[in-house]
Amino acid sequence: MIDRSFKPGRNVLKRCRVLSFVMLAVIAGSLLTSCPSPSPGPEGESSWTWTPRATDRNRKWKSIASSDDGQKLAAVAYNGGVYTSADSGEIWTNRSEGDNADPDITGSKNWNSIASSSDGSKLAAVVYNGGIYTSGNSGTTWTHHTAVGDKNWWYIASSRDGTRLAAVVSGGIYTSDDFGATWTHQTEAGDKNWESIASSSDGRRLAAVVKGGGIYTSRNSGATWAHQTEAGDNNWNAIASSRDGRRLAAVAYNDEGIYTSDDFGATWTHQTAAGDRDWISIASSSDGSRLAAVVKGGGIYTSRNSGATWAHQTEAGDNNWNAIASSSDGEKLAAAVDGGGVYTGVFQQEDSP
């Protein structure tokens, strides 16, 4: 028999309400944790617009560099000249020809690589079986740094302000902290078949790759180096760095893939989603989250999650891509074709329905 004369006190009612509230909170929390958290849309839900540039200049483009905003571009051609653009690639100026050309870079040279400061005002370029050249006015005039000597220069990297430079040659790494006026042969790096080098924004953290060898990093502007053995020995072609040097991305030729690191090179991940192709060049946004890489005789591939997934930019077509450069936010790209033209890409996020 139910005793209907029982009436709960005020404290009992309060406890019941508290318990009910707690139970509702627990249920709600369970529902929230069981649902996946929202994440940025994949590359397939976004769009890149690609535009062929400098199509009348079918040259053996070897390297291309970009300012932070993607407005100023600089490119070099093997057995050719130095070219600059101040409008994201729409109009190009050949700095090696014409009445206003600087005598130091006049004519055809075996230009191999070019690097740019963040604002595009300071440029540094190297010549295979030649010298190192710098410009402090976006390519108008140039200085040939004869003290460092003529060598088989392969690649050059720059700090954000353009004052610290690092260049590799088959046999050594050389650095400068005064915009190329003086150079130091970093003997601790060893005489290896160096292929490419990347720099942090302050020029203190460097990462370099050896063709048919390993990946090496330095945290003191090249004075000492660490061999990052976890990445293994591969036919490394290029390496890119985030602004702080923490995130690195390297590509290897002969179907050996793309590898990334988010701890200054201590550990590496083989990004199998990219596929093992004849990767030849890679570029990174300043935070290292957005990457772009090109395949020799293939396509352009982009990633917006540090290399976990990749999108083939079919609109750009398959070409003998030789180099790619990125704006600091990763939303403007410029890629150069060996024996072809220069293409620029602009990223636009599609509106959700």
SS (H, E, C) 131-184: CEEEECCCCCCCEECHHHCCEEEEEEEECCCCCCEEEEEECEEEEECCCCCCCE
Q: What is the pLDDT of residue 17?
A: 44
Tens-place pLDDT, residues 90-101: 999 999 999 889
Q: What is the mean pLDDT of the segment spanning 136-146? A: 98
pLDDT band at residue 312 using 50, 70 and 90 as cut-offs: very high
* pLDDT at residue 351, as a whole number: 55
Query: What percentage of residues in the chain have a pLDDT greater than 90?
Result: 81
Residue 54 — pLDDT band, cuts 50, 70, 90?
A: confident
Question: Residue 200 is inside which H or E element, if any?
Answer: none
> What mean pLDDT comes out for the span 18-23?
38
In a domain, 45, yes or no: no
Mean pLDDT of the chain: 88
Q: Note the pLDDT of residue 33.
A: 37
DSSP, collapsed to helix, strand or coil, labels residue 19 as: helix
Q: Give me the CATH number covering residue 175.
A: 2.130.10.10
> In whole angstroms, what is the distance from residue 82 CA to residue 76 CA?
5
- 61 neighbors 75 (Cβ within 8 angstroms): yes
Confidence of residue 160 (pLDDT cuts 50, 70, 90): very high
pLDDT on residue 255 = 86
Q: 71 is written with which tokens?
A: 């407005």
pLDDT, average across residues 30-42: 37
- pLDDT for position 223: 98
Helical (H) or strand (E) element with 321:
strand 319-326
For residues 193-197, give the mean pLDDT. 98
- Asked if the structure places residue 20 within a domain, the reply is no
Q: Indicate whether 46 pLDDT > 80.
A: no
Q: What are phi and psi of 197, to 5 degrees?
A: -145, 145
Task: Compute the half-sphere exposure of residue 251: CA atoms within 13 Å on the CB side of its CA.
Answer: 28
Question: pLDDT of 170-179, one tens digit each?
Answer: 999 999 999 9
Alpha-carbon gap, residue 310 to 294, rounded angstroms? 12
* Adjacent-strand bridge partners of 133: 125, 144
Read off the pLDDT band of 243 (50, 70, 90).
Answer: very high
Q: Which residue has the higher pLDDT, 114 or 39?
A: 114
At residue 75 the predicted structure's pLDDT band, cuts being 50, 70 and 90, is very high
Task: Check residue 350 and give its pLDDT.
Answer: 64
Q: Is residue 106 in a domain?
A: yes
- The distance from CA 128 to its chain's CA centroid, rounded to whole angstroms, is 22
pLDDT value of position 100: 86
Put simply, whether the predicted model's pTM sits higher than 0.75 gets the answer yes
Dihedral angle over CA of 204, 207, 210, 216, nearest 10:
90
Q: Is the pLDDT of residue 1 over 60?
A: no
Kind and range of the H or E element at 47?
Answer: strand 46-53
Q: How far is CA 185 from the centre of its chain?
A: 25
Nearest of 107, 102, 162, 157 to residue 130 by alpha carbon: 107
Domain count for the chain: 1
Q: What's the pLDDT score for residue 3?
A: 42
Looking at residue 349, its pLDDT comes to 76
- Can you tell me the distance from the alpha carbon of 187 to that of 173, in angstroms, rounded to the nearest whole number? 8
* Confidence label for 57 from pLDDT (cuts 50, 70 and 90): low
Instruction: Indicate the DSSP class of residue 107.
Output: S
The answer to the question of residue 41 being in a domain is no
Q: Distance between CA 283 and CA 264 in Å, rounded? A: 16
Whether pLDDT at 196 is above 70: yes
> Is residue 304 included in any domain, yes or no?
yes
pLDDT at 20: 42
CB 289 within 8 A of CB 306: yes
Question: What value does the mean pLDDT take over residues 288-316?
Answer: 97
Cβ contacts of 250-259, under 8 Å, gap ≥ 24 = 250/207, 250/209, 250/215, 250/282, 251/279, 251/280, 251/281, 251/282, 251/293, 252/279, 253/278, 253/279, 253/280, 253/296, 254/278, 258/282, 258/291, 258/293, 258/307, 259/231, 259/234
36, part of any domain: no
Within a domain: 15: no
Q: Which domain holds residue 266?
A: 50-349
Give residue for tokens 């990633």: 303
pLDDT digits (tens, 9 = 90+) for 107-133: 999 999 999 999 999 999 999 999 999
> Confidence band (pLDDT; 50, 70, 90) for 18?
very low
Has residue 9 been placed in a domain? no
